[in-house]
Amino acid sequence: KMGLTGCNIDKVVNISGKICPYTVMETRDALKEIGAGQVLEVITDYKPAATESIPNFCEKKKYPVEVIENTDGTFRLLIKKEE
């Protein structure tokens, strides 16, 4: 499975300071703004969103997702919008 790191990022959304359900809602809205095959980067400081709710949402949609934990406690999620 090819990783999404190093992929071209088509859109970045920073949802730091937001908690569920807003994290998933904003991620979903941002995904609506990009085309199939494009990659969305989500920045969040809310661990449950980064490790559970957003990956679960992506799994339901069958979108590949990669979670990167930064040293400052924030997370980068790379989500590929599939067809």
Selection from 62, 67, 59 nearest residue 83 by Cα: 62
Residue 1: which residues within 8 A CB-CB, separation 6 or more? 64
Say which amino acid occupies 10.
D
- Is 58 annotated in the active site? no
Catalytic residue among 9, 12, 19, 20: 20
The sheet carrying 39-44 orders its strands as: 11-14, 39-44, 75-80, 65-69
Q: Residues with catalytic annotation? A: 20
